Amino acid sequence: MTESVSPTAYLDHAATTPLHPEALAAMLPYLKEQYANPSGIYASARRARRAVDDAREQLASVLGCAPGEIVWTASGSEADNLAIHGVASTGHAVASAVEHKAVLAPLGALRGVVAPVLPDGRIDLGRLGELLDPSVRLVSVMAVNNEVGVIQPLREVVELVRARAPDALVHCDAVQAVPWLDITEWLAGCDLVSVSAHKFGGPKGVGALVVRARARALQPLMLGGGQERGLRPGTENVAGIVGAAVAAQIVAAERPATVARIGALRDHFVDTLMAAAPGLAESVPRALRVAGNAHLQLPDGVDGEELLLLCDAQGVCGSVGSACASGARQASHVLLAMGWTKARAREAVRFSLGATTTADEIDDAIAVVSSALCRLAPGAP
């Protein structure tokens, strides 16, 4: 028997989103007949160059920046690494404890400082203020957390940084924000912003770092050809870049309707499950999270991974926010930073909805998750 390719309910949009059909259609010519290298001087190469630059303008209009401020990268992780290694030197960077590993790992390599968060996952502004002084060169705080979906108080972060560390640049990992928030206003306050196409209906392997005027001294991670003003050498992924820009325009145009529809589906999903399963709770107040996030604290004694395995057997996809290191599952650094114990952090799951989520998927997921919760409830036969 072959396994079905499409899940019954794909609720892991924070991990990746399906490629939007219009993005795929726009990409295909550049994967087939229009294969020229955009650095060439002949007509087909110039067409490829124009496609990359048109895409740059389209993404810039969605993000509210100038086209010349966009540097295409090969992922959100690369954009984060470029922002941190390209600006900070040892000991002069600060980032929140709940950042993605693509921020925390380079921060660690520079022996940077981790700023604590409150139990609700938002950065502790008081403690951040204490960590800032004029020697700090970079402060990195994400827009939306990938596990618990919490929206960070970015405007307050920027104000604090400008007041206490006037020479510091502010980097914002906005990878999880694009589907849910109009980040143009926030972006105006930040100096460096990372995005990743596969989180908003674009292809995998395409990201961008917005580099604003204050960050113009940014240094490249790699040396090579002069692409992307020397900041990201390497032949551009023309098809991927074209697909990313199409997806960005669609997600921005449809965002208000998507947020309203998906927020209602998420609320129905969570409220129905909580009514059915005693001890099930939301990890963070709903008002602090983006519309697609359903991060749940499971009843005592119910392991998140076991729950997800039962759900997977019925075609429902979710995730636990923890990595496997040498076969041993580690507790989520995000939940630990929020003050959860290691044991409690294993009793949590993230379901994340996206623009393509349907009411039928949610109904199926409710049935599957609640029956899995019943099976795993302590004392269940």
Ligand X SMILES: Cc1ncc(COP(=O)(O)O)c(C=O)c1O
Does the footprint of ligand X cover residue 123 (CB under 6 A)?
Answer: no
Report the nearest approach of ligand X to the CB of residue 53 (Å). Answer: 22
Instruction: Copy the structure tokens of residue 137.
Output: 């060169």
Stretch that binds ligand X, among 33-41, 75-83, 127-135, 231-239 (CB under 6 A): 75-83
Q: How many CB atoms lie within 10 A of CB 235?
A: 12
Report the nearest approach of ligand X to the CB of residue 180 (Å). Answer: 12
Report the nearest approach of ligand X to the CB of residue 41 (Å). Answer: 32
Measure the CA–CA gap between 25 and 182, rounded to whole angstroms.
25
Residues touching ligand X: how many (CB under 6 A)?
A: 13
Stretch that binds ligand X, among 52-60, 76-84, 152-160, 256-264 (CB under 6 A): 76-84
Query: In DSSP terms, which residues pair with 293 in a beta bridge?
Result: 352
Which of 77, 237, 258, 293 is in the footprint of ligand X by CB under 6 A? 77
Report the nearest approach of ligand X to the CB of residue 299 (Å). Answer: 27
Measure the CA–CA gap between 366 and 351, rounded to whole angstroms.
11
Measure the CA–CA gap between 255 and 261, rounded to whole angstroms.
10
Does the footprint of ligand X cover residue 196 (CB under 6 A)?
Answer: yes
Report the nearest approach of ligand X to the CB of residue 78 (Å). Answer: 7
Binding mask 136-155 for ligand X (x = CB under 6 A): ------x---x---------
Q: Which is nearer to ligand X, 58 or 196 (CB)?
A: 196
Interface with ligand X in residues 321-350 (CB under 6 A): none
Backbone angles phi, psi at 208, to 5 degrees: -150, 145
Which of 38, 106, 179, 207 is in the footprint of ligand X by CB under 6 A? 207
Distance of CA 301 to the CA centre of its chain: 29
Q: How does DSSP classify residue 289? A: B
| CB-count burial class (<10 Å; 0-12, 13-18, 19+) for 146 | buried
- Alpha-helix residue ranges (DSSP H) falling in 286-346: 304-313, 333-337, 342-345
Backbone angles phi, psi at 200, to 5 degrees: -135, 35
Interface with ligand X in residues 18-47 (CB under 6 A): none
* DSSP secondary structure of 332-366: PHHHHHTT--HHHHTSEEEEE--TT--HHHHHHHH
Q: Which is nearer to ligand X, 26 or 82 (CB)?
A: 82
Q: Which is nearer to ligand X, 69 or 80 (CB)?
A: 80
Point out the residue whose Cβ comes nearest to ligand X.
Answer: 76
Sorted by sequence, the CB contacts under 8 Å of residue 72 that are 6+ apart come out as 52, 56, 206, 207, 208, 228, 232, 236, 237, 241
Does the footprint of ligand X cover residue 83 (CB under 6 A)?
Answer: no
Which of 84, 117, 137, 173 is in the footprint of ligand X by CB under 6 A? 173
Q: How does DSSP classify residue 228? A: G
Does the footprint of ligand X cover residue 368 (CB under 6 A)?
Answer: no
Active site residue: 65, 190, 324, 374, which one?
324
Sorted by sequence, the CB contacts under 8 Å of residue 14 that are 6+ apart come out as 146, 147, 149, 176, 199, 292, 293, 319, 350, 352
Stretch that binds ligand X, among 170-178, 185-193, 323-331, 343-351 (CB under 6 A): 170-178
324 catalytic? Reply is: yes
Does the footprint of ligand X cover residue 76 (CB under 6 A)?
Answer: yes
Report the nearest approach of ligand X to the CB of residue 295 (Å). Answer: 13
Backbone angles phi, psi at 139, to 5 degrees: -125, 125
Does the footprint of ligand X cover residue 175 (CB under 6 A)?
Answer: yes
Report the nearest approach of ligand X to the CB of residue 101 (Å). Answer: 8
Report the nearest approach of ligand X to the CB of residue 50 (Å). Answer: 25
Does the footprint of ligand X cover residue 357 (CB under 6 A)?
Answer: no
Q: How many CB atoms lie within 10 A of CB 34?
A: 16
Q: What distances in angstroms separate CA 203 from CA 22, 27, 48, 198, 244, one per listed residue?
A: 11, 9, 18, 5, 6
Q: Which is nearer to ligand X, 100 or 350 (CB)?
A: 100
Which residues make up the interface to ligand X (CB under 6 A)? 75-77, 80, 100, 102, 142, 146, 173, 175-176, 196, 207
Active site positions, annotated: 324
